Chains A and B, each alone.
Chain A
């Protein structure tokens, strides 16, 4: 299968200026991630807030430049190219942002906002442009009259649909979805996920689906990658492996935190096992999870675990597995 997007050991750190001295502090967000996304094979990126999953997504969408490493799209580096060269690629790489209310210009109608996207990469007549807008609005399940409405006149769920329409109007090949459903109501969540799935089947889109909700992942993704402290700690191919077969202690922690589906499944006392610390060890020569890990050994403190394949399409970075 063709590799669509790829990251080669990318790192990104942000500089934090100290208020009172000239000292600059480096805050690492992504710490050496190599990820291959094959065409038609959507990847779900799961982690807590602060794990660097959004930064990785933004770098893969070409919105951030990595401090080290390369992002390749169809074998071509997109991390250091000029904006002019980026423009033709942009129509194939799109992003669905988390907060749909800040995506749209409040003084533009939904139709005008979407038209802006089309005009940026295609020379089309007004009529064709209008036709495209109407088609995509219908495809995301909105009435065509919504093109004349302003963002504030739409409810959260409708605006998220319009947001999806904006990202997909050019039929991109690769779409980064940054928590597309986490700001939505429970009942709308399933609708939007089903919509993303339908559109994927219709247009052959490949998603990088960023979320902190493990329940969403099997709906839209073929591969699940768990991120912790800027690194991928587990990657599992959901076609060949069951989601329950995950091995990394962090993944089990995430699974144990999912609320029960029905009252009979209530867990007893698992919450005590969540060791309460968000402290991440500074050193690059230890497992970054060991302070929270219930099974850590001396090896975890002295040596950093690397991703290794434990089953077909299943990678884990942990010494004890």
Chain B
């Protein structure tokens, strides 16, 4: 089987290229058009922010890229090129390994996204072993280094702890450690700091920033907080009701907004 491949995008450091994506949620009595004709590009080492209010469809885009959208979500049109290959054209058996080797994701609620019955160490080692054929001890060393990389104190102790024993900020850093353990090309961060304090938020943003500088990871940052965008993003897409209403560099969006909705969002800044 021949997959859809676009070699042109590779040269421009484009990791993720979403073209004309449309996605509908099929309900018994109606269809909801959650994403309509969406175009989005994420480049190596850059942070692309997808900004919108709740219900604008930004999380749906994240789930569609990962291939983990709900069962009633039907992709009616478009292509999602991940590292040059259209993931929607991949057969089901290859899809999971293709995506999971290239994309990491962190979610809004860090405590809920970890397994409460496994220790932090078990979860990290499990992830390492899925991606690489090495011994458990080697995996443990990688896991420890990974925890140090997100500057968590006393990683040896931490490996034995359960998620409920950690604070929200620590859990989110563990999530970053897990998501970045196999050096993904793309990291999707779905509202990574919304549930956290300002001090913790600054730390998390710092880790995302150092990750893209160190590994050249492309980051798709999904948020509704324009403060976070102003602090860290390179490119910005403003989303409303499933459409991208404006996209550009962070300076364009903040100093020269064109669309009414962008202006409204900027005016709502405290």
Q: Quick check: B53 and A257 within 8 Å, CB to CB?
A: no
B251 at the binding interface (Cβ < 8 Å): yes
Contact of A258 among B54, B167, B227 (CB under 8 A): B227
A260 in contact (CB, < 8 A): yes
Looking at the assembled complex, report how far the CB atom of A303 sits from the nearest CB atom of chain B, in whole angstroms.
26
Please indicate the chain B residues that have their CB under 8 angstroms from the CB of A213 in the complex: 198, 270
When the two chains form their complex, are residues B264 and A254 in contact, meaning their CB atoms are under 8 A apart?
Answer: no
For B28, list chain A residues within 8 Å (CB): none
A312 at the interface (CB under 8 A from B): no
Is B184 in contact with chain A by the CB < 8 A criterion?
no
Bound-state Cα–Cα, A129 to B153, Å: 57
Q: Which residues of chain B are within 8 angstroms of A262 by Cβ–Cβ distance?
A: 230, 254-255
A242 at interface by CB-CB < 8 Å: no
Interface string of A188-216 (1 = CB under 8 A from B): 01110100000000000000000011111
Residues of A within 8 A of B226 (CB): 186
- From A48, A187, A263, A276, B254 is in contact (CB under 8 Å) with A263
When A219-B270, A258-B198, A263-B250 are in contact, do A156 and B54 touch as well, CB less than 8 Å? yes
Q: Is B202 an interface residue (CB 8 A)?
A: yes
Q: Please state if A49 and B153 are interface contacts (CB–CB under 8 Å).
A: no
Additional pairs, 15, CB under 8 Å, beyond known A155-B55, A186-B226, A266-B231: A48-B199, A48-B200, A186-B224, A186-B268, A187-B53, A190-B268, A191-B268, A254-B198, A257-B199, A258-B198, A258-B227, A259-B227, A259-B230, A259-B232, A276-B203
CB distance from A265 to the nearest CB of B (A): 7
Find the A residue at minimum CB distance from B251. Answer: A263
B-side contacts of A307, CB under 8 Å: none
B231 and A254 within 8 A (CB): no
* B167, A50: Cβ atoms closer than 8 Å: yes
A117 interfacial contact with B, CB 8 Å:
no
CB distance from B227 to the nearest CB of A (A): 3
- Chain A residue, CB-CB nearest to B200: A48
B198 with A274: CB separation less than 8 A: no
13 intermolecular pairs with C-beta atoms under 8 Å apart: A49-B168, A186-B53, A186-B225, A187-B224, A189-B268, A189-B270, A254-B199, A256-B202, A257-B199, A259-B201, A261-B230, A271-B203, A276-B153
Q: B269: CB under 8 A from chain A?
A: yes
Interface flags, A66-79, vs B, CB<8A=1, else 0: 00000000000000
Q: For chain B, residues 215 to 269, give those with C-beta under 8 angstroms from any C-beta of chain A.
A: 224-228, 230-232, 250-251, 254-255, 264-265, 268-269
Contact count band on A: 35 or more
Interface presence of B6 (CB below 8 A) = no
Give the complex CA separation of A212 and B205 in angstroms.
17
A48-B199 Cα distance, complex, nearest whole Å: 8
Please tell me which one of the listed residues A216, A265, A274 contacts residue B202 in the complex, with CB atoms under 8 A apart: A274
B151 close to A (CB within 8 Å): yes
B231 touches A190 (CB 8 A): no
A186 to B226, CA, bound (A): 8
CA distance A193 to B268 in the complex (A): 11
Determine the chain A residues whose CB is within 8 A of the CB of B156 once the complex forms. none
Q: For residue B167, which residues in chain A have a CB less than 8 angstroms away from its CB?
A: 49-50, 278
**Contact of B224 with A185 in the complex, beta carbons under 8 Å:** yes
Scoring B residues 97 to 117 as 1 if CB is less than 8 Å from chain A, else 0, what string do you get?
000000000000000000000
Nearest B residue (CB) for A267: B231
Instruction: Knowing A263-B250, A274-B203 are in contact, say whether A185-B230 is a contact too (CB < 8 A).
Output: no
Contact with A along B42-86 (1 / 0, CB 8 A): 000000000001110000000000000000000000000000000
A186 vs B225: C-alpha distance in the bound complex, in angstroms? 6
A259 touches B228 (CB 8 A): yes
